[in-house]
Structure 1
Amino acid sequence: MSGLGSTSVIFDLDGTLVDSEPNYYEAGRQVLAEHGVTDFTWSDHERYVGISTLETVTLWKREYGLRASVDELLAAKNRRYLDLARTSTRAYPEMRKFVELLATEGVPLAVASGSSLEAITAILSGTGLDAHLRTVVSADEVDRGKPAPDVFLEAARRLGATPADCVVVEDAAPGAASAHAAGMRCIAIPYVATQADAPEFATAGLLLRGGQEEFTARTAYDWLRRTR
């Protein structure tokens, strides 16, 4: 058992461990442009932060009246995203420190993400985070994506942890809602600053309104020690 008792920590990936949203935006912009949507902006993209790629392209099809099937859109976006993810994904420095600190303490760790398993694996490998984050769950492996609790509950199951002993680290409102629904505590680091007042974030045990600029490994670790 670690110095944090029976605590296990489950990380979201995109926007939490790594700054991958620019890659998701660019992949989405390219795919939509191919289908005649040429005015997709960063502000438009922010509406989809925190939900799975499958859910995103399903919404695109309805909102933009796209003729391509959901499967075709999903494959196209995943292909473009993977090309970008393998070469240009940056891990947040303080998040890397936090992962390394927890790993040194022997805390069980997992990643639970709305991304595909292939994308998660590529990013963790490319950033070197796979050295410490070996338990991985994709939303593709469960029945429902965030804000349903399925992906976090499956991560807890694989870690052999009870939900009450798990702490989720999240950047998006649907992820915070998912953690709450799973009966887990949450460290919330809003990726979109204007969403910090979203009611889903009010359920977080630790809310860092300034996002990654406010987050430090020591702040998060000390909070875990106080609340374990």
Structure 2
Amino acid sequence: MDSSRAQGTSVVFDLDGTLVDSEPNAYESARLLLARYGVAEFTWEQNARFLGISNREALTVLRAEYGIEAPVDELVAGQDAIYLELAATSTEAFREMRVFVEMLHAHGVAMAVASGSSRAAIAAVLKGTGLDAYLTEYVSADEVARGKPEPDVFLEAARRLGVAPADCVVVEDAVPGAAAARA
């Protein structure tokens, strides 16, 4: 990171539900995965309680609730594979957020993404939406010890940007992420 860009306030964005409308893909990937393991009905409403937390944490809970014997790592890999197929082709960036990111970029503001999604999913979404031209730094919850609502992904994003956490503004849409940002 060029230290001349790391001055002033930096912005760290959550990805899913904040920059992009990926929740339909996240839900569909979970629904399809669970169907493979015999869960016939998994509704949008059932999925909504997992918004803002990592896939691993959500799948750990779902595995226990539905008595799925497969290891969590297998479930995570399965959902990631399904999600990656959907993410690259059917994710839309929110128009206003795209304009905001482009404006910040034009003003030289350092930006990063901090997400509960896997690193591969973040990359696929950013590339599929064209936001990768502006958001080259990103951190997955898989890369840190604790996911949201703990602050680890945001702290790591600040570190990668070369800025103090206190010099970052976090843009987030979910309660666990807002708690992580405050922490």
TM-score, normalised with respect to structure 1: 0.77
Instruction: Structure 1: give runs of 5+ residues left out of the alignment.
Output: 182-228
Q: How big is the alpha-carbon RMSD for the aligned residues of Structure 1 and Structure 2?
A: 1.1
Give the structure 1 partner of residue 151 of structure 2: 149
CA distance in 2, matches of 1:63, 1:105: 48
Among candidates 134, 141, 159, match of residue 139 of structure 1: 141
Give the structure 1 partner of residue 14 of structure 2: 12
Matched letter for residue 155 of structure 2: L
CA drift at 1:37 = 1.1
1:123 is aligned to 2:112? no
Give the structure 2 partner of residue 196 of structure 1: none
CA drift at 1:28 = 0.5
Per the alignment, in what secondary structure is the counterpart of residue 168 of structure 1? strand
Per the alignment, in what secondary structure is the counterpart of residue 69 of structure 2? coil
1:75 is aligned to 2:68? no
Among candidates 41, 64, 67, match of residue 66 of structure 2: 64
CA distance in 2, matches of 1:36, 1:125: 33
CA distance in 2, matches of 1:138, 1:74: 14
Count of aligned pairs between the two proteins: 179
CA distance in 2, matches of 1:178, 1:63: 26
Per the alignment, in what secondary structure is the counterpart of residue 178 of structure 2? helix
CA drift at 1:113 = 0.5
CA distance in 2, matches of 1:136, 1:63: 32
Give the structure 1 partner of residue 95 of structure 2: 93
Structure 1 residue runs of 4 or more that deviate by more than 2 Å after TM superposition: none
CA distance in 2, matches of 1:67, 1:154: 33
Matched letter for residue 69 of structure 1: P
Deviations 1:126-169 (A, max 9, x none): 11101110111111110000000000000001111111110000
CA drift at 1:39 = 1.3
Equivalent residue runs for 1:1-228 within 5 Å: 6-181=8-183
Identity of aligned residues (%): 64
CA distance in 2, matches of 1:168, 1:113: 12
CA distance in 2, matches of 1:55, 1:98: 31
Per the alignment, in what secondary structure is the counterpart of residue 12 of structure 2? strand
CA distance in 2, matches of 1:47, 1:83: 24
CA drift at 1:97 = 0.3
Per the alignment, in what secondary structure is the counterpart of residue 71 of structure 1? helix
CA distance in 2, matches of 1:107, 1:73: 37
